[in-house]
Structure 1
Amino acid sequence: MSDSPGAERRRRRWVTLPEMVAVLGLVIGALTLGLNWSEKRDAAQEKAAASAAAGAAKVRLSLDADLARGGKEIRLSDARHELIDTAVDFPAALRIERQTPATARIDKVWFDRAVLAATDGGADEREGRLPVLVTARYMVGDTPREGHAVVEIIWRTQGRLVGGRSLEIEAVRVRETGGDRKRIDALWTAEMKRQSARA
């Protein structure tokens, strides 16, 4: 017995609906798979970027500066690296030779007279900032590297009954990583303008 034309159309409709559900399921599955793959790829990229940043941080100079010997000396260190040697450059206007100490330090006697001479002629009691450039050679594993940092020495002068003025180091900080002689010269020029305005 053959089906009527209406029954045949209904049967086709019932056959088509499950197929549409199956296709819809495949589409949803493909979208889910694509999203999961995209999230894993993004997570892998983030992990690679974080690893690269951590690697760069391990290689970069991370200089610290602390007062020692009752404020007569500044000790330089890097918690991540062994410092092989250091060199300290002062602003050209002070006419101080480059210092290459046997230990990583900055000694007050290297610069106190030059700063007192540069700030002479005004008030006895002053305070200011002296920028110096530290060049350090250090080890990353078995590889020697070189880095620079601008260290800012905060100083204060005061008058004495005999012998003019004296200079004391109030504090010290690493102002910035990197830098060069031009940078410390520019910072010192700005400091001298500030001193002249206050005199």
Structure 2
Amino acid sequence: MSEMPETPKEARAAEAAAIRRRWITLGEMLTVLAVGISALTLYLNWSEKQEERADKASESRQASARSVKLVLNARADGSDRLLLSPAAPEQIVQSQTILFPKALGLAPVPTTGEARIEAGWFADALKKAREKAKLPDDSVGDEQLPVEITTRFVVNGEAHVDTALYDIGYGIAGKWLAGHRVTLRGLSLVARGAVGDPQERVDARWAKAVKARS
């Protein structure tokens, strides 16, 4: 039996149904695409935030590492005193111990609160040590006196200790009757956190300075 031909009404209904199916398929595709775009946007936002957090964490770690590395600046207070202060403003010095070369025959000098170096602590001993080493009475340029400085300081409420080898820059001049005068010039960092005996490091540095001036 042959099929009955579609009436115009049925043809229009079939065409309308086909159009609806196409729209449904297109709508589904758009929905999937929208979900994909949304998921990609969320991932990119999450990834960007992760990178920002990683960058901030890295910056925080670097800032923290910098804050516990102590570098001392020296400012002359007259000719016989150096006032010391940390290069980083968030660091607060609590106390220091200054170790001199054994050739000077001095005990380590402790300070509390005001970080400083005073010529009066070592000037006479330095003159005698220079005389014994047969160094010139008057300096040509800046002389160097090595010292090991142990500094106890606070950063954001946390206590830290730094030990470093520094050179005190000084000059010495005078006449036989008036005596020689030691003038302090400044302070320079040589090395920090070195292993071994601090006294040996200071003595080795002093021997090198004496040899260079002899």
The question of a shared fold, defined as TM-score above 0.5 by the shorter chain, is answered with yes
Q: Note the alpha carbon deviations across 1:45-95, whole angstroms, 9 max, x for none.
A: 333343454455556656443222x22122234554554432111234544
Equivalent residues in 2 for 1:146-165, closer than 5 Å: 146-158=161-173, 160-162=175-177
1:118–1:48 CA distance, 2 compared to 1 (3 A)? farther
After superposition, the CA RMSD in angstroms is 4.3
**Residues 1:38 and 2:38 are matched in the alignment:** no
1:137 to 119, 129, 152: 152
How many residues were matched structurally?
197
Paired position in structure 2 for 1:87: 97
> Secondary structure of the residue that 1:169 maps to in structure 2?
strand
Equivalent residues in 2 for 1:55-66, closer than 5 Å: 55=64, 61=70, 63-66=72-75
- 2:80 partner amino acid: K
> What TM-score do you get using the length of structure 2 for normalisation?
0.63
5+ residue gaps, structure 2, are 1-9
Shift of 1:30: 1.4
Shift of 1:155: 1.9
Shift of 1:42: 1.8
**What is the percentage of aligned positions where both structures have the same residue?**
29
For the pair shown, the structure with the greater C-alpha radius of gyration is 2
> Secondary structure of the residue that 2:109 maps to in structure 1?
coil
Single out whichever of 25-34 and 11-20 deviates more from structure 2: 11-20
1:196–1:123 CA distance, 2 compared to 1 (3 A)? farther
1:152–1:58 CA distance, 2 compared to 1 (3 A)? same
Q: Distance in 2 between matches of 1:92 and 1:165?
A: 21
5+ residue gaps, structure 1, are none
> Secondary structure of the residue that 1:71 maps to in structure 2?
coil
Equivalent residues in 2 for 1:44-193, closer than 5 Å: 44-55=53-64, 61=70, 63-68=72-77, 70-78=78-86, 79-101=89-111, 103-111=114-122, 112-113=126-127, 116-117=130-131, 120-121=134-135, 124-126=138-140, 127-139=142-154, 144-158=159-173, 160-162=175-177, 166-175=181-190, 178-179=193-194, 182=197, 185-186=200-201, 189=204, 192-193=207-208
Aligned residues of 2:82 and 2:186 also touching (Cα < 8 A): no
Aligned residues of 1:67 and 1:74 also touching (Cα < 8 A): yes
Aligned residues of 1:89 and 1:97 also touching (Cα < 8 A): yes
Paired position in structure 2 for 1:27: 36
